[in-house]
Amino acid sequence: MPPSHRDDSLMGRFDQHGLSRFRARDAVWTTFLIAALLVVFAGDSARRAGEQMNPGIGRDVVLFFGKPAGAIADALPFAQVADNATAWVRPDDDLGGNGSFATLTLQTTGVPPVTPEAFDPAQLGAKPAKPRPLKTLLVTGDSLSTPLDTSLARDLAPTGVKVLREPHLGSGISKSFLVDWGQLSVDQVRKDKPDAVVVFIGANEGFPFEKQGGGEIKCCGVDWATEYANRIRAMMNTYRAKGAAQVYWVKLMTPRSKARADIGRVVNAAIDVAAEPWKTQVHLIETIPIFTPKGYRDAMPINGEDTIVRMPDGIHLNDTGAAFLANVVIKRMGQDFALQR
């Protein structure tokens, strides 16, 4: 008489009740069949998952199997059939139209594309380009560019650099009735073809801009700053000569007059914004940390002694201040050019 209790360890119990049972070989073949179906219908998913993993041995293993699986799926139509059949599970909107990342480089309106020139290689930890010879340097701007231009010419004379001094006294970017700096910059580059340009301008700003269709944009709100930045950006783009030249734009130090200081703050902010697209070629020279770190001052320590560096007008640098600034500019230029001083 069979035992009254049930013994689950007896494999023959299936036969006693007329049930079928599978062999180990059947399980192996079933596993291979499922793997083959996954390769045919979803091999591209394995490859895509591997490509999105962080570098490492895990990614290498997944791609080792995922790449051939993806190639098989690409060669057969079943993967697309599976995607269509299961689309209802993930009913995503169509993300391939306007605004998608795939179309960014094709857009001609809206968000402008970022170009390699927007990155300073030093920020990325990249090896800097080998300094090249500096043959021609243009120093230009309003009255602020003097006597900086003289100091640069004197200091660079032993190196054989040709220094072109083109100050335009009394001019300004916001006052085109005297000098149109947009047109002037184009003429300078076409005529002089400089390898580098030093620009120091901003002593005569704050004039209203004319609106298209009538009216004025008065200084110094965001609309005025926007127009000013657009004009500076156009000049920077001209001076960099499609990447062939380096531009060193000197920002304003704080003047004695509060009214001028308020304008200068907006001018400096506009300079920062204007230079963003071309950090590879447009370099900003900060003067406030050097000359006016805590507000206006006539003198600053040089070689351990307080030395007057400003002109009596409280705006311009004197010869000593200009010579100090020239050293700062030349040091920055030395990162891009081979200067033997």
SS3 string, 153-222, reads HHHHHHHCCEEEEEECCCCECCECCCCCHHHHHHHHHHHHCCCEEEEECCCCCCCCEECCCCCEECCCCH
What range defines the domain where residue 278 resides?
Answer: 130-338
- The pTM of this model reads 0.71
Tell me, what's the pLDDT at 208?
Answer: 95
Residues 82 and 134 in one domain: no
Residues 71 and 138 in one domain: no
Considering the domain boundaries, does residue 279 fall inside one? yes
Residues 283 and 188 in one domain: yes
Q: Which helix (H) or strand (E) holds 67?
A: helix 57-75
Residues 212 and 64 in one domain: no
Last residue of one domain, picked from the residues 40, 60, 89: 89
Considering the domain boundaries, does residue 102 fall inside one? no
Tell me, what's the pLDDT at 53?
Answer: 67
Considering the domain boundaries, does residue 106 fall inside one? no
Residues 209 and 76 in one domain: no
Last residue of one domain, picked from the residues 89, 116, 144: 89
Q: What is the mean pLDDT of residues 235-255?
A: 97
Residues 31 and 152 in one domain: no
Rounded distance between C-alpha atoms, residue 64 and residue 96, angstroms:
29
**Residues 165, 151: contact at Cβ < 8 Å?**
no
Average pLDDT of the chain to the nearest whole number: 85
Residues 298 and 229 in one domain: yes
Considering the domain boundaries, does residue 304 fall inside one? yes
Considering the domain boundaries, does residue 96 fall inside one? no
Considering the domain boundaries, does residue 118 fall inside one? no
Considering the domain boundaries, does residue 120 fall inside one? no
Provide CB contacts within 8 A for 23, sequence distance 6+.
none
**Angle between helical axes of 24-51 and 57-75 (0-180°, round to 10):** 100
User: Any idea what the CATH number is for the domain that residue 190 is in?
Assistant: 3.40.50.1110
pLDDT of 274-310, one tens digit each? 999 999 999 999 999 999 999 999 999 999 999 999 9
Phi/psi for 284 (5° steps) reads -95, 130
Last residue of one domain, picked from the residues 31, 59, 89: 89
Residues 330 and 199 in one domain: yes
Residues 45 and 174 in one domain: no
Tokens of 46: 């394995």
Residues 137 and 269 in one domain: yes
Rounded distance between C-alpha atoms, residue 16 and residue 319, angstroms:
111
Q: Which helix (H) or strand (E) holds 246?
A: strand 246-250
Tell which residue, 205, 241, 243, 239, has the closest CA to residue 225. 205
Residues 39 and 155 in one domain: no
Beta bridge partners of 196: 137, 246
pLDDT value at 103 more than 60: no
pLDDT value at 322 more than 80: yes
pLDDT value at 247 more than 80: yes
Q: What is the mean pLDDT of residues 64-79?
A: 75
Residues 267 and 195 in one domain: yes
Of 127-136, 154-163, 309-318, the one with minimum mean pLDDT is: 127-136
From residue 34, give the alpha-carbon distance in Å to each of 30, 62, 63.
Answer: 6, 18, 19
The number of distinct structural domains making up the chain is 2
Considering the domain boundaries, does residue 5 fall inside one? no
Tell which residue, 194, 179, 315, 188, has the closest CA to residue 260. 315
Q: What is the mean pLDDT of residues 213-234?
A: 95
